[in-house]
Every structure is written in C-alpha cells, then in structure tokens.
C-alpha cells in the first residue's frame, strides 16, 4: 500500500498508517468460541491470504489433527482500534492499511501485488492515464472501456460481457414467475 500510495499521490512516505489488523484466534472451548461469535466478526477457518477455488461449508485442512472438542484457528480482519478479547489465544499476523473508498489506491495496490482482476499489459500501458482518469473521475476499476483495463478476452476480470462505458447503461427486464 505504501508503494501504491506513493505512486498515486506522488509522495515519498516510508509507510502508510495501520488501519486494520489481520488476526487469528484459537478458541480453547465453546465459551471462547461463543465470545468470539458475540463480537460480530466475520470469522474464517482458513487463512485469508488463500484463494478459495471451490466454496464449501468448511476448510477440511483446518480440522486435521484436532482432538475431540478442539477448535481450529479462526481468521479475520479487525479495525486498528478493536479491543482484542482477553484470555483467547490471539496472533496479529499483519498490519494492514485498507483505504476507505479509494478505488485508485486499491487498483494500484492490486496491480503492484499481481492481484489485479485487470489484464496487466493493458494496465501497464495505460497506468499513468488511469491514474489521472481516476483522480478526475472516480469509477470502478474495470468499468471504463476506453481505457481497456479489463477488455474481454485479454485475461482480465471474469466480469463477462463486453463491459460498459461510462456513457452507456445496461438495460433489460428480469421476470420471475412464481408457481
């Protein structure tokens, strides 16, 4: 995020501020599991830096080797000022900077880390143009055809269809018949 921030805003900061933490919890019993559940957190039984290829009810590897009544590590992201629960084994895995509705910064960070949904050759060729365009007209990363960031067939996105330019709006009608 620091590299993305410096590119987008032409700064030379050494590190962006921490806004969130990537953490994991290891509840010992049902009481601790219920306590975590009461904190209204999105808890996952797999590391969040893994790509889910097939959805399921749980990640079997998280449960391998667990004893009777034992619980797996549970992963989540919490805001920087979140008070971690006392008594539950907790590890802060990484400090994060998650921008608040800043698509420019998110796009650049995804590009730098190789996680962009957009085709990298198009992104690279038009990187400066995208930067200026986003500064002038904030939009979703793959919506603008004239910048061809995620042109169909170019290896980008998986959004399907031919895309929508900023001057076109899709239209149609969906009819649901109840039997």
pLDDT of residue 134: 65
Is the residue at 54 inside a domain? Answer: yes
Using alpha carbons, select from 97, 72, 90 the residue that is nearest to residue 21: 97
Tell whether 88 and 43 lie within a shared domain: yes
**Entry pTM:** 0.64
Residues 84, 57 share a domain: yes
Q: Which domain holds residue 116?
A: 103-147
pLDDT of residue 72: 92
Q: Is residue 155 part of a domain?
A: no
Whether 174 is in a domain gets the answer: no
Domain for residue 6, yes or no?
A: no
Average of pLDDT values for 156-173?
Answer: 36
Sign of CA dihedral 114, 119, 122, 128: negative
Identify whether 175 is part of a domain.
Answer: no
In this prediction, residues 34-55 reach a mean pLDDT of 86
pLDDT category at 125 given cuts 50, 70, 90 is low
Confidence band for 168, pLDDT divided at 50, 70 and 90? very low
Q: Is the pLDDT at 38 greater than 50, yes or no? A: yes
Pair 142, 157: CB distance under 8 Å: yes
Angle at 119 between CA 154 and CA 169, to 5 degrees: 75
- The confidence band for 145, taking pLDDT boundaries of 50, 70 and 90, is very low
* pLDDT for 116: 75
34 within some domain: yes
In a domain, 121, yes or no: yes
Does one domain contain both 50 and 115? Answer: no
Same-domain status, 27 and 80: yes
**Does the structure show a pLDDT above 60 at 101?**
yes
Indicate whether 154 pLDDT > 90: no
Strand partners, 66: none
Same domain, 71 and 117: no
Are both 33 and 79 inside the same structural domain?
Answer: yes
Q: Kindly state whether residues 79 and 110 are assigned to the same domain.
A: no
Does one domain contain both 112 and 70? no
Q: Are residues 40 and 92 part of one domain?
A: yes
Could you tell me if 113 and 72 lie in one domain?
Answer: no
- Mean pLDDT taken over the chain: 74
Number of domains present in the structure of the chain: 2
Answer yes or no: do 84 and 24 share one domain: yes
Residues 73-93 have pLDDT tens digits of 999 999 999 999 999 999 999
Domain-located, residue 5: no
Same domain, 81 and 26: yes
């Amino acid at each position: 995020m620091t590299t993305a921030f410096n590119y987008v805003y032409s700064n030379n900061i050494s590190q962006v501020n921490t806004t969130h933490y990537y953490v994991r919890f290891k509840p010992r019993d049902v009481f601790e599991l219920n306590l975590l559940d009461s904190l209204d957190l999105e808890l996952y039984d797999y590391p969040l830096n893994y790509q889910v290829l097939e959805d399921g009810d749980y990640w079997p590897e998280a449960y391998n080797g667990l004893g009777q009544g034992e619980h797996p590590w549970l992963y989540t992201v919490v805001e920087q000022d979140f008070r971690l629960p006392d008594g539950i084994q907790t590890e802060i895995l990484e400090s994060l900077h998650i921008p608040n509705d800043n698509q420019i910064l998110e796009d650049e960070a995804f590009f730098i880390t190789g996680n962009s949904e957009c085709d990298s050759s198009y992104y690279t060729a038009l990187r400066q143009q995208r930067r200026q365009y986003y500064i002038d007209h904030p939009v979703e990363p793959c919506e603008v055809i004239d910048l061809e960031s995620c042109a169909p067939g170019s290896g980008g996105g998986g959004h399907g269809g031919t895309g929508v330019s900023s001057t076109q709006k899709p239209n149609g009608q969906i009819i649901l018949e109840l039997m």
